[in-house]
Structure 1
């Protein structure tokens, strides 16, 4: 058995092949440019590395309603070249194999659920805070979705008083979670990327406040067993104790949660979470 994985991000595509036990045998990546250029590289890769099924996690928004005419499409993305692109259809035209199609955040969440920080839990919430903000909720092994996937990166938050002048960078909502806390929002404030800021900078308390607000909202709505964070911004280790402290203060003992140090935590699989989850979902597609 050979399994394939595609982690299709807004910046780069990662493709990989594994055996049936998810041992990666080959892996490559290339920039996300236009559909014609990028997909030609995807096709060439899997022509050279034939597989029995492929799990796909795509940037979005994407259509996940299997009854909809646009199922498998990238829909209203700000990456205009990819708007209304039939991603799954293109793959099915080129390869006559089973596919599992979902969001890039879902595949990372599934990897953590099965083999990372969510291992052994029934219900996990996974957030990624990086170039954008996205989330996935897995309840008893199934992704939460209605007519499409959640967009929890765009929930509205209250401005930190120390940050009241910042209008946010989201082109749709301005000061939503993504608009206030994603990597581009940090760069907009300071003219440099987050990893270039001093870990002791007061801004990290503001960032932690926004992330903690999101955790409070999610806790009250979903009551997960654990909240797991990945993404480039979350590689700032000093954030976690700040988020945990802010969360405890904001929640104000209204509901019980697991021990805070075990409740809001970092990914275990790091940058491999997405590929791991996509391979696992490829195997699921075979069944």
Structure 2
């Protein structure tokens, strides 16, 4: 079996896996601290696996913002982040040099999108969007089967959205306050409820404005991209799949029949791969890196 390694680098944990996109055979989780310390420990684990049996390629699905233009000198670096100790961190170069094999990097949400497209809730879709609703909100946009990247990867989680009437919540985004992430992320849910997000009851009054904001974001996606499908994942959604139905019907109502392919329920579905989506996406990136060297 081809021996690939994947890294899902998040804000709290670094999840390393061995296997293929179809099957994860070994896992390791490391806490994330500052860039230098975290990358050193990740490199050490990869080297340990590599010395036991050579790794053929590495895929990295990382938090961002990331420089994804391979023609730039800071390709594979974290750029302009407020996360302490990570601004300018050379994620790709550090890990590629550690084990000396082909490597590819993309955002964590794009990795999850690739996995859902290949093995999850977007199988057969050429144009779809994966939205992760967790501590923050991120979007991986797939058009023609390929991730969208221009001057930067999409940051559609920060779209400004129209508030539900009567919603006076200030928002949690330090940049925009009432953007989608500011109003409807897991952090926003916890701040609205004044308790940990996983303890908020399903009948809490915090949910209607959160659902409304997510429906605003989804309607903007459909109007902008005419996507076949939106896949919702991340911790908030994975714990409460009932939100998906609410968002799907609310989105359709906001579109008001304007898009001919959307009826009473918008084509919005729950992610199928759960917490494994980003890790399997990293292994897809590793597979791509190996194929590009063939």
Q: Sort the TM-score into its range (normalised by shorter chain).
A: over 0.9
Aligned residue for 1:80, secondary structure, equals: coil
Q: TM-score, normalised by structure 2?
A: 0.93
The CA RMSD over aligned residues, in Å, is: 1.5
Partners of 2:233 and 2:67 in 1: how far apart?
Answer: 23
Partners of 1:163 and 1:276 in 2: how far apart?
Answer: 38
Equivalent positions of 1:1-287 (< 5 A) are 1-19=2-20, 22-50=22-50, 51-164=55-168, 166-234=169-237, 235-258=239-262, 263-287=267-291
Does the 8 Å contact 1:163/1:206 carry over to 2? yes
Deviations 1:184-243 (A, max 9, x none): 111212221222122122321211100000000000000111100111111212212221
Partners of 1:104 and 1:179 in 2: how far apart?
Answer: 20
Aligned residue for 2:166, secondary structure, equals: helix
Deviations 1:91-137 (A, max 9, x none): 23222111111000010000000000011111110000101100011
Deviates more, 1:232-241 or 1:248-257: 232-241
Partners of 1:25 and 1:141 in 2: how far apart?
Answer: 27
Q: Which consecutive unaligned segments of at least 5 residues does structure 2 have? A: none
Partners of 2:211 and 2:192 in 1: how far apart?
Answer: 16
Does the 8 Å contact 2:251/2:266 carry over to 1? no
Partners of 1:28 and 1:259 in 2: how far apart?
Answer: 44
Deviations 1:42-72 (A, max 9, x none): 1121112121101101101111111112110
Deviations 1:155-186 (A, max 9, x none): 0011212312x111111111111111111111
Partners of 1:148 and 1:138 in 2: how far apart?
Answer: 15
Deviates more, 1:141-150 or 1:105-114: 141-150
Partners of 2:201 and 2:23 in 1: how far apart?
Answer: 38
Does the 8 Å contact 2:252/2:265 carry over to 1? no
Cα distance, 1:22 vs structure 2: 3.4
Aligned residue for 2:85, secondary structure, equals: helix
Q: TM-score, normalised by structure 1?
A: 0.95
Which runs of 4 or more aligned residues in structure 1 lie more than 6 Å from their structure 2 counterparts after TM superposition? Answer: none
